[in-house]
Amino acid sequence: MKRWIANFVMGLVMVAGALFSAYNNFALFQSIFGQDLNGILSSAAGLALFDLGALGWLLHFAYSARGNVQRAIAATCGLLCLVLTLVAAGTHIILSQSLITVPEWAGLVAMVAILVGLTINILGIAGNHMAQPDVLTAMREQAQNDEREEAIRGAQGQVFREALRQSVARIGQTAASVAEQLSQEFAQDANREMLSMTSGGDSSAAPRLPAPHSKPAYQYAAETEPAPVMAPRQPAAHSNGAAPGK
């Protein structure tokens, strides 16, 4: 029974403190943004950054955060929002009272608290999303894939450089034979070009030199035909039929 009464009283204190803080923060925002509709909406947004922000981050830390990183982010943002809530509520109390002179820095504190609260919540939401276990796992896998691709690109570059070096070495080894073949082709091209300038451009009509130890085709027929054989001359006979000298 006593335990239940203690829990009930503690709950009333927490609710009363939260309502009191929310009222002062909402009034502070209205004094900054105005009493019209835009001022009311801006004040409600500021209330969500401070009071509801602190409550939401602490509940997220207790029940829905996964992993140590998310829990650390939720606890840090929840405590900072709670501190800003108390600062804003205290600033409104100072600005709205008449017992003491309001210091000049009170208004600056209220403006800085709003900007800091906005920054904390935005950065906290972004960090909480990146700290999800699924996102962290995907980031680690992507980092491993990037390292693997970088290693593959490095190996490919090394292979290409080695192939280029071997190609240059082989070109140097075969340069002499290739140069000889090219010089022969250049000489043949030059000969054909010079021969095409005669005989009406027909290079096939150019005379060809005879092969060594071959007989010219244009040799005279007298050199090729055998000389005629002369018959021996017979002595002439006399009219009396006697042989000469007898």
Q: What integer pLDDT is reported at residue 220 of this predicted model?
A: 43
Q: What integer pLDDT is reported at residue 79 of this predicted model?
A: 92
**C-alpha dihedral, 164 to 169 to 172 to 174, nearest 10°:** -100
Q: pLDDT tens string for the chain (246 positions)? A: 778 888 888 888 888 888 888 888 888 888 887 788 887 888 888 888 888 888 889 898 988 888 888 999 999 999 998 888 888 888 888 887 777 777 777 778 888 888 888 899 999 999 998 888 888 888 888 888 888 888 888 888 888 888 888 888 877 777 777 778 888 888 888 888 888 876 555 555 445 545 455 455 444 444 444 555 555 555 544 444 444 444
The gap between the terminal CA atoms of the chain, to the nearest Å, is: 198
Q: What integer pLDDT is reported at residue 75 of this predicted model?
A: 92
Q: Which two structure tokens, joined as six digits, stand for 186?
A: 């250049």
* Distance of alpha carbon 84 from alpha carbon 109, whole angstroms: 10
DSSP H stretches of helix in the chain? 2-33, 37-59, 67-96, 105-130, 133-173, 175-195, 221-224
* Distance of alpha carbon 23 from alpha carbon 96, whole angstroms: 13
What residues contact 49, with CB distance under 8 A and at least 6 apart?
Answer: 81, 114, 117, 118, 121
Q: What integer pLDDT is reported at residue 234 of this predicted model?
A: 52
Q: Is the pTM of this model over 0.85?
A: no
Q: What integer pLDDT is reported at residue 204 of this predicted model?
A: 52
* Four-residue CA torsion sign, 208, 211, 212, 213: negative
